Amino acid sequence: MSFIGKGLNSFFKGKKHTVSNDADRSLPSHIDIIMDGNGRWAKNHNRPRTYGHSQGSAKFREITRYCDSIGLKYLTVYAFSTENWRRPQSEVAAIMKIFKEYMEEALSDFTNENIVIRFIGDRSPLAPELVDLMNRCEQATKDKTGLVCNIAVNYGGRQEIVFAAQRIAQKCLDGLISPSDITEDMISSHTYTAGQNDPDLIIRPSGEKRISNFLIWQSAYAEYYFDDILWPDYTVEALEEAISEFNKRNRRFGGI
């Protein structure tokens, strides 16, 4: 599940969709999407995998706009995982190159958009110029009041828990806390999504039915929705179908 783009001058531009007006619909506060199937989509269309990633990026822009238009509070997308480095070096290089080009145009396109962009994951292996662009993009949008869009880049759920444990352990060594002070809330406060609602609904298109190391801690009580659509073919109608299915679920959180 990797993400690349053509530049944020087109990030939120394109076809506008009619916002659902179903009065009986309960909107999740936090939806996560594992954007999967770009490579298979490209193969099905006899195109290189990088073309599939660019089409997946266009779909990301479309779905993000729609999520903002319906009033969603948080959207997290799985863009590039810690395991994606195992892909052919040429593919990884192409993804990083286009992602850099994408970010270089980001700062010019947020003036009229009320969307907060955040990047979650380990930035240390990324090129310094890319990290700088990510930081600047976050700074430019931090005061927006609309949708918060988390883009997971070099993200792994186990890695996130390890990092949280390391930071808490250091506080113990520094004498700031004792082991008995460690609670679930404390661990949550040391994750990348600290301060945000845990995901209500996690969507994975493409036919795969696994979580692939995504938000392991936060997804303890999330509802999952799987479908067979490859990500570049995903639609707002498919998203609404997932939300409709979510509303049919009985979320008891361990109760009766």
Q: Active site residue: 32, 36, 198, 200, which one?
A: 36
Q: How far is CA 214 from CA 25, 27, 158, 177, 222, in A?
A: 27, 22, 8, 29, 12
CB count within 10 Å of CB 132 equals: 12
- What residue segments make up the domains of the chain, in order of their start? 8-15+26-156+198-248
For the question of residue 84 being annotated catalytic, the response is yes
Report pLDDT for 187. 97
Give the pLDDT of residue 80. Answer: 84
CA nearest to 160, candidates 119, 215, 118, 203 = 215
Just give the CATH number of 8-15+26-156+198-248.
Answer: 3.40.1180.10
Beta strands in 15-113, from DSSP E residues, in sequence order:
30-34, 74-81
**What does the alpha-carbon distance between residue 46 and residue 38 come to, in Å, rounded to a whole number?**
12
The answer to whether 145 and 118 are in contact (CB under 8 A) is no
Rounded Cα–Cα distance for residues 203 and 242 (Å):
8
Q: According to the model, what pLDDT value does residue 22 have?
A: 60
213 is catalytic: no
Cβ atoms of residues 34 and 1 within 8 Å:
yes
Give the pLDDT confidence score for residue 114 in this predicted structure: 87
Q: Which residue out of 32, 38, 68, 84 is catalytically annotated? A: 84
Beta bridge partners of 30: 74
Q: For helices 89-104 and 49-69, what crossing angle results, to 10°? A: 40
Q: Residue 27's pLDDT is what?
A: 93
pLDDT, averaged per 10 consecutive residues of the chain (256 residues), comes to 44 49 76 93 92 85 92 94 81 76 61 85 92 90 93 94 98 97 97 97 95 95 96 96 93 67
pLDDT of residue 28: 96
Position 101 scores a pLDDT of: 67
Buried b (16+ CB within 10 A) or exposed e, 31-55: bbbbbbbbbbbbeeeeeebbbbbbb
- Residue 116 has a pLDDT of 92
